[in-house]
Amino acid sequence: MKIITVERKVLKKNDEVAAENRETFRRQGIFAINLLSSPGAGKTTLLEKTIAALAGALRLAVVEGDVQTDLDAQRISRQGVPVVQIVTHGACHLEAPLVQDAMARLAMDSIDLLIIENVGNLVCPASFDLGEHVKVIVASTPEGDDKPIKYPKMFRVCDVCVLNKIDLLPHVDFDTERFKRFALEINPRITFFETSARTGEGVEEWVEWLRRRSAPAR
């Protein structure tokens, strides 16, 4: 799979282009998610497991956002899924025009599910609508159970929280109930999944949710 790197100066206003992206998703029957997290929470590993589990069931494509390197796109492309890398060259979040450029490099009429992996950052990406249907925060147990109240905006804008690295629970100071209570205080409608992308535990529930949400859009 060829990796195309998109780099463009942001010209139009973010929200205007996000609305155009949303309209493209609607027209093409694509379910689009924006995957957000701290650096190293396991977004790419979760994505690898998700792609493997969805093989044959949904036509998937990925947009990878990174400050630097196309390492993540290389990992995804090894699974035979169309992927476009956005390198932000220092910028701390994706914006809708960059995603629109990436979309122009994908066969949008043969995609059921588009996953946009944002830059690893719990602050800035929360403020930028990319046109996605759902924002998903991937939190990981080693980061600590206080993250929802320390980074409230991120948890407020996300509809789904994947709590990842549950295989490390015996080895870290993390109280899952406390974490969920904090997240629900910030955002009472947030839906949780608990996974270990590394071992595969819990990934099936998350994948089933993606399958169910992607289906009506087709």
Q: What does the binding site for a copy of itself look like in residue numbers (CB under 8 A)? A: 38-41, 66-69, 71, 90-92, 119-124, 140, 142-144, 146-147, 149-153, 165, 167-168, 171-173, 198
* Minimum CB distance to a copy of itself, residue 212 (Å): 30
Max intra-chain CA distance, the chain: 48
Shortest approach of a copy of itself to residue 60 CB, angstroms? 23
Helices marked H in the chain — which ranges? 14-28, 43-54, 71-77, 96-103, 147-150, 152-157, 176-186, 203-214
Beta 4-6 vs 83-87: how paired, if at all? Answer: parallel
Pick 3 or 123: Cβ nearer a copy of itself: 123
For 134-146, the three-class secondary structure string (H helix, E strand, C coil) is EEEEEEEHHHCCC
- Nearer to a copy of itself by Cβ, of 187 and 214: the residue is 187
Residue with tokens 């147990």: 141
**What is the closest distance, in whole angstroms, from the C-beta atom of residue 23 to a copy of itself in the complex?**
29
CB of 2: closest distance to a copy of itself in angstroms? 21
Distance of closest approach, residue 216 Cβ to a copy of itself, in angstroms: 34
Least distance in angstroms from the C-beta of 214 to a copy of itself: 28
Q: Which residue has tokens 């993250």?
A: 147
Q: Which lies closer to a copy of itself via its Cβ, residue 88 or residue 214?
A: 88
Segment holding 162, helix H or strand E:
strand 160-164
Q: Which is nearer to a copy of itself, 40 or 80 (CB)?
A: 40
Between 21 and 93, name the residue whose CB sits nearer to a copy of itself. Answer: 93
Give CA separation, 134 vs 36, 201, 213, 217, in Å: 11, 23, 10, 13
Based on CB atoms, which residue is closest to a copy of itself, 27 or 150? 150
DSSP assignment, residue 68?
A: S
- The Cα 117–Cα 193 span in angstroms is 18
Separation CA 132–CA 88 (nearest Å)? 19
